[in-house]
Chain A
Amino acid sequence: MTLFYGTELASRLMLGTAQYPSPEILTDAVRRAGAGVVTVSLRREAAHARAGQSFWELIRALGVPVLPNTAGCHTAREAVTTAQMAREVFGTNWIKLEVIGESDTLQPDMFALVEAARILTEDGFNVFPYMTEDLVGAERLLRAGCEVLMPWGAPIGSGKGLNNLFGLRALRAHFPDVPMVVDAGIGVPSHAAQAMELGYDAVLINTAVARAGDPAQMARAFAMAVEAGRMAYLADPMEERDMAVPSTPVIGQAVL
């Protein structure tokens, strides 16, 4: 059982809610995915005077735990303010903390991330930090009070899959007891299965589902892949070898 700040999720697939062709298709995708969490971004212009109310009500009506995020924030201060608005709007202490440091790769700013995580944790938030797979950064985030880590697979929306397998393996191995979610960069279900086979506790997908030709069907495909990957991890996969090992024993075979 994996607990995210004391909560067990109904599914290890987390789904973002942006970029769908319509709220109806989003709802369909969330249902078919059986998503354990939905993330929602709080844009400034929507937060102002609660102008995003209608869309947020649609999100709440999904009946799935909501993880608000600070997407689009470029400074710690901006992220902290957005997190505080999100807590007010959604009535949850959970926050996916995103502080963008570079505009081409949308790479997280690890320094601002640690700073914002410390402020928010002290303020009673449960922070899910969107981070690179950096081991030292992970250590600092844990020290800042994070109990969950969310390393990227690849840049947001790139669909490149797990760019740094070595780094993700190392991160998993270094912090075996910390719930970890691969967030961002996953393009197809096999990428999600791969993350789960590595022992990650969940994956977070948005673009790969929302921008698919048939988002609901893609959501289902991801749900199956996440389940397959998790089962494979628990089943203790075989080790890779450089030489063939016959699956049929040679010794004792009849010589014809």
Chain B
Amino acid sequence: MAEQTAFSPAAGPSVLVRGAGVSGLTAAVTLAERGARVHVHEHGARVGSGASWYAGGMLAPWCEAESATREVTEQSLSSLDWWDAHVPGVTRNGTLVLAPARDVREVARFGRRTSHFSTIGEAGITELEPDLADRFSTGLFFAGEGHVNPRDALAALAARLVDLGGRITFDVPRTAGTGGYDWVVDCTGIAARDQMADMRGVRGEMLLLRCPDVTLHRPVRMLHPRIPIYIVPRADHVYMVGATMIESENAGPMTLRSMAEMLGAVYALHPAFGEAEILETGTGLRPSFPDNMPAVRREGRHIHINGMYRHGFLLSPVRAADAADIVFGNG
């Protein structure tokens, strides 16, 4: 993609990006595409060693409006195209929103808070997801949404950065110096908590299942007044199930209660999930500001991109562009 670079790499500003999660890698690629000489320092041994690793990877600007402010939807409309243009494997099959029979009112409420969907009945659900035939009477279909496998996407971004002439160094101590660069872009997520007084962590727990007996083609959100979950299909009948939202900074292992509640909801979606293998459980801390909105903050030549909350894959391309505008003097 060197042809997108306006000047020769040597002429661009040098930027140290701290953190190779979704914020750091979207920022690094965006900056490199605009001609910056980018070096990424990652504390862990691989990309996505923080909350990004446990993300759902749903690119769902309209569904998010159920609980997020209008700004989240407005600002994220372009992100589906951004991901499609930058990584392979973006699936644009939409999102299906369902509820068990006794909580069917939740579907109506979800519909009132959102837009850009069609209300579908049993036939429509069967057409989209044949395996869910005869199980749900009504649902919402958000045709314009998509999803991506976050772990594959992060790896693809890292490869792209290297193609653009950028570098990534792993296992860098948090105390490593940041001197010698024109700009420092800090994307260290919850690790920046000590530097940002208004940041908190919001605990999230997720599961990976393998279930050859069930085929789903798109993320399904199962509404429930207490335990709403989503299930996102990955390749080879692997499913990611997420996620709890707990006001806690304990990143310890998943609790039995959370697992029982989430698996109960998955079982309600389709009893064949009873035979699924549990491949992995994961816990992450979502870095969050009081308004739960991702932010770009600047102090001199130091820029923070942080507070992704539950919107990392949805909003990081937009925040990356905001940060790049600052570096290139348009911000």
Contacts of A44 in B (CB 8 A): 255
Chain B 216-247 near chain A by CB (<8 Å), digits 1 or 0: 00000000011000000000000000000011
Say whether A48 contacts B290, CB under 8 Å. no
Contact among B113, B248, B293 with A43 in the assembled complex (CB-CB below 8 Å): B248
Q: Would you call B249 an interface residue if the criterion is a C-beta within 8 Å of the partner chain's C-beta atoms?
A: yes
Contact B248 A52 (CB under 8 A): yes
Shortest distance between the CB of B268 and any CB in chain A (Å): 14
Cβ-defined partner of A21 (8 Å) among B67, B248, B250 = B67
Q: Which of A42-93 contact B (CB under 8 A)?
A: 43-46, 48-49, 51-55, 58
Once the chains bind, are B247 and A22 in contact (CB under 8 Å)? no
- List A21-52 residues whose CB lies under 8 Å from chain B: 21-25, 27, 43-46, 48-49, 51-52
- How many angstroms between the C-alpha atoms of A43 and B247 in the bound complex? 9
The complex places the Cα of A22 from the Cα of B310 at a distance, in Å, of 11
- Decide if A6 is an interface residue (CB 8 Å cutoff): no
- Residue of B whose beta carbon sits closest to that of A59: B247
The contact string, 1 if C-beta is below 8 Å from chain A, for chain B 243-284, is: 000111110100100000000000000000000000000000
Partner of B250, one of A27, A45, A213: A45
Answer yes or no: B69 CB below 8 A from chain A CBs. Answer: yes
Tell me, rounded to whole Å, the shortest Cβ–Cβ distance linking B50 to chain A: 17
One digit per residue, 1 when the CB lies within 8 angstroms of any chain B CB and 0 when it does not, for chain A 196-214 equals 0000000000000000010
- B290 near A22 with CB under 8 A, answer yes
Decide if A157 is an interface residue (CB 8 Å cutoff).
Answer: yes
In the complex, per-residue mask of B289-302: 1 if CB is within 8 Å of any chain A CB, else 0:
01111000000000
In the bound complex, CA of A153 to CA of B226 (Å): 19
- Asked whether any CB of chain A lies closer than 8 Å to the CB of B146, the reply is no
| B66 nearest in chain A by CB position | A21
> How many residues in B have their beta carbons less than 8 Å from beta carbons of A?
22
Q: Point out the residues of chain B lying under 8 angstroms from A51, CB to CB.
A: 203, 248-250
Is B156 an interface position by the 8 A CB rule? no
- Tell me how far the C-beta of A61 lies from the nearest C-beta in chain B, rounded to whole angstroms: 10
In the complex with contacts A21-B68, A157-B225, A213-B113, A53-B249 CB distance below 8 A: yes
Q: Are A52 and B69 in contact (CB under 8 A)?
A: no
Q: Using Cβ atoms and an 8 Å threshold, which residues of chain A touch B226?
A: 157
B37, CB-defined interface residue at 8 Å: no
Mostly, the A contact residues are helix
Q: Which label, helix, strand, loop or mixed, suits the secondary structure of the B interface? A: loop
Whether A49 contacts B290 by the Cβ 8 Å rule is no
- Chain B's nearest CB lies how many Å from the CB of A182? 20
Residues of B within 8 A of A25 (CB): 291
Q: Are A58 and B292 in contact (CB under 8 A)?
A: no
Chain A 208-250, CB-CB to B under 8 Å as 1, else 0, gives: 0000010000000000000000000000000000000000000
The answer to whether residues A55 and B247 also contact, given A21-B69, A22-B290 and a CB cut-off of 8 A, is yes
A51 to B291, CA, bound (A): 20
Q: How many Å from the CB of A248 to the closest CB on chain B?
A: 44
B292 contacts across to A, CB distance below 8 A: 21-24
Give the size category of A's interface with B. 20 to 34
B291 and A52 contacting across the interface, CB-CB below 8 Å: no
Taken together as a complex, chains A and B put the C-alpha atoms of A55 and B285 apart, in Å, by 13
B200 at the interface (CB under 8 A from A): yes
Contacts of B246 in A (CB 8 A): 43, 45-46
Report which residue of A49, A52, A58 has the largest number of chain B beta carbons within 10 angstroms of its beta carbon: A52
A46 near B248 with CB under 8 A, answer yes
CB of B200 within 8 A of CB of A54, answer yes
Interchain CA distance A48-B292 in the complex, whole Å: 24
For the complex formed, measure the closest distance between the CB of A111 and the CB atoms of chain B, giving whole angstroms: 23
A52 contacts B113, C-beta separation under 8 Å = no
Given contacts A21-B67, A21-B68, A22-B290, contact A45 B255 (CB under 8 A): yes
Whole-angstrom distance between the Cβ of A141 and the nearest chain B Cβ: 27
Contact A55 B200 (CB under 8 A): yes
Partner of A27, one of B113, B255, B290: B290
What is the distance, in angstroms, from A75's C-beta to the closest C-beta of chain B?
14
Q: Mark B51-92, 1 if CB is under 8 A from A, else 0.
A: 000000000000000011100000000000000000000000
Within 8 A of A (CB), among B69-128: 69, 112-113
| A49/B250 contact (C-beta < 8 A), A22-B290, A23-B290, A24-B291 known | yes
Q: List 21 A-B residue pairs with CB atoms under 8 Å apart, sorted by A's residue number.
A: A21-B67, A21-B69, A22-B290, A22-B292, A24-B292, A43-B247, A44-B255, A45-B246, A45-B252, A46-B248, A46-B249, A46-B250, A49-B250, A51-B203, A51-B249, A51-B250, A52-B249, A52-B250, A54-B201, A55-B247, A58-B290
Give chain A's interface residues, CB within 8 Å of chain B: 21-25, 27, 43-46, 48-49, 51-55, 58, 157, 213
Besides A45-B250, A48-B252, 4 other CB < 8 A contacts? A23-B291, A44-B255, A53-B249, A54-B247
